[in-house]
Each structure stands twice: as C-alpha cells, then as structure tokens.
Amino acid sequence: MLLSNPATHDPRPLKEARALARSGYQVTILAWDREGETRLDSVMEGGVVVKRWRLHAGHGTPIRTVPKLFLFYAWCVVQVISMSVDVVHCHDVDTLPAGFASKAFKLGRTKMVYDMHDLPEAFLRFFPFASAMQKGFLRGVRRHADLLVSASEGYTGYLRRAGLKMKRAVVVLNAPSLKEGREPRKPSDAFNVVYYGALEEERGVKLLVDAIKNRPGVTLTLAGRGALAKWVEQAAENSDNIRFLGWLNLDDLDEAVREAHLLPSFYAPTSTNILLSTPGKLLKSFSLSIPAVVTNGTHQAELVARFGCGLAVPWGKPEDIGAAVTSLAGDRMGYERMTRLAFAAFQGELNWETMETRLIRAYSEMVGR
C-alpha cells in the first residue's frame, strides 16, 4: 500500500490493511511521514509492516511539496522493485504516479489498485489545468488499474457517468464496526445537538449556532478547533443553550457524541467532491442510532432519504435548520422511528464487516484465488 501520510491517523487505509492481513495477504504500507514524528518502521496488528519515509513537507503548498512528492514516488518505486510484490494498492490520486511507475517497472506482472478517498479534483485543485489533469489520471486508471476501490457510492456513479468503466470496482465506506454500534434508546426531554470537528464556516458551524441559539428545549454542543473557535466561544457565553467544549481527546469526544440526539453533517456544496462524498460522521451517527441532518442535494441526502433516518435542509438557511431540529425534537414517535431505521441501516449494510467482505471478495477476484 502507498500512503502519503504516516499511517497513524487515517483509519480507513489501516482498517483495509488489517482486513487483508486477516484474510491471508502479507501487507506492507509504504508511508510518508511529513511531520517526522514517528519511528521509521513498525508492525501493526495482524503483522502489517509499515515502512516510513521521513522528509518534512507541508500540506497544501504545491511549490514546496511537489519536489518532495516526486522523491517519495522514487522511494516507493525502489521499495516495490526490491520486494516480491503482487499488488500495489494506491491510496488516493497523489500516490497514483508511483503506482503507474511500479507497474511499468514490473512489466505489468503486478496488479494495481486505485483506492479513491476523494475525487481527484480534491487534490488537483492546487495545480493549474486541474480538469485536464483529472481526465489524464482517470484515463490512466482505466488503462492500468485492475481494481477501483471507492470511499463513496456517489464517486463511482459520477465516474461511470464520466465514462470510466472499470472491470472491477467496489465501494468500501469508512464505516464503524458492528461492535461499535448502539441500539436505539428512548429520547429524553432535553434534546442535544452535537457538532464535532473543524470549526469552519464551510462546515456549517455559523449556520448551526444561528439556527439553535435561544431555541427552547434544544442544546447545541460544539467541540473542535479552527478559525471560528473564538467566535463559537463568544456565542456560548452569550447564549444559555450553546456549549463549547474546545478540543477533546478521543475518549472525551466519544462520550460527548454518545450523549447526542442529533449529529448534523453539513458541508458547503462548493465542489463535486463534497456533493458526492460519504463522510464518516454520517456513518457514525447511524451506528449510534442517531438521525442526521444533512445538506440538501448531496449524496448524504440520498442516503438519508433511502434509509429514512434523517432530514435534508437547504444550505445557507439557518431558519430551515432550526425548523428541522424543532421538528425532530417535538415529534417523539417520528424521532424514535428514525433511530430504529438508522440502526437498521447500520446493521444491514453500513458497517465495516460488510465493507471488509466486499474488499476481500474484490481482491480475490482480482488475483484469482
């Protein structure tokens, strides 16, 4: 596996690596430690070997990062050539050049997997001629990749419409495990809306605060950090039903999330990538039997409508968000129905065990075992 981060915090690639190892594959992750904060090598659960290349580089600064990115590609290719490799699994578009080169050096004897976390545009927007570059990368994927793994059903539908017809393609969502699920519970009189993550305007933070502040019977709890942290802190001081917890460790964050009656999953609909994504936050809410409020016109809204476990509201209208929250808080029977449907969606399809089965089956078909 080729990964342009240190293989410490990005959960989906690590879950995939462990799943493949459990199924009998020998897995090595070639990772780029841009921050220089990890050991060079390590061994994860299941015997997954992580080899790290350490060279400091920033994020989102193409002029400084691109030369170092090509050095990372060269290091990956040398590692692949030196090992007996059957499959090169490229995580996201920024590792694809190393995958193409590795397959060429192996004279096509090595299979190549393109694991699309986001549409290529999410990375290529930093570069000139991004649209042409995306088309070029996708043509390369169609010609050279043996399997497409996608982090959202919305992405695969978009690629099919764009003419990218893969022989093998599978959707592997970053879904929680069944053991992390929680069955529906009775709602209390207090209705707690919890937002966690980046405190940025494009995540709908201002919209949420404006929608819920001073709204009777509803509390908004926010946790995270970002450009709006000071603004959120001030809003909490000026409103009795806004709470700001700051930046939390994982244990404290999990406790706060489990106290939620509603987990909003808002993203400004500013790009095709955002419109078609399936955020982990949405899947987390289903696993905890919590309905979601999402942005209208997105793939998230399609999922909420398909499974009947939430509401979609127009972006940019706090009055509509407030009305949706009030509706859920006041309709106890409707809310309880949505909690049951959310958990049923999680148990039936939107869980990691289902995703792992899909991945292993696709790999087995690809390598012919």
pLDDT of 322 higher than 90 = yes
Query: Do residues 238 and 218 share a domain?
Result: yes
- One domain for residues 204 and 336: yes
Could you tell me if 292 and 309 are in contact, meaning their C-beta atoms sit under 8 angstroms apart?
A: yes
Q: Do residues 194 and 257 share a domain?
A: yes
Q: Are 45 and 26 in the same domain?
A: yes
Token pair of 31 as six digits = 């990772």
Give the pLDDT of residue 63.
67
In the chain, the percentage of residues whose pLDDT exceeds 70 is: 98
| CATH code for position 312 | 3.40.50.2000
Query: Residue 300 — very low, low, confident or very high, per pLDDT cuts 50/70/90?
Result: very high
Q: Mark whether 196 and 166 lie in a shared domain.
A: no
One domain for residues 363 and 310: no
> How long is the chain?
369
- The band of 298, judged by pLDDT with boundaries at 50, 70 and 90, is very high
Q: How far is CA 300 from CA 28, 192, 262, 265, 282, in A?
A: 33, 21, 15, 8, 8
CA angle 148, 150, 151 (to 5 degrees): 160
Contact 117, 12 (CB under 8 A): yes
Give residue for tokens 């015997």.
Answer: 47
**Crossing angle between the packed helical segments 352-367 and 11-22, to the nearest 10 degrees:** 60
3-state SS, residue 49: strand
242 forms beta bridges with 220
Q: Do 48 and 17 touch, CB atoms closer than 8 A?
A: yes
Task: Note down the domain range covering 136.
Answer: 2-175+351-367
- Verify that 27 and 149 share a domain, yes or no: yes
Q: What is the predicted pLDDT for the residue at 38?
A: 82
Tell me how far the alpha carbon of residue 177 is from its chain's centroid: 15
192 and 338 fall within a common domain = yes
Residue 186 and residue 165 in one domain: no
Query: How many domains does the structure of the chain reveal?
Result: 2
Residue position matching structure tokens 């809310």: 335
pLDDT digit string (tens) for 250-288?
A: 889 999 999 999 999 999 999 999 999 999 999 999 999
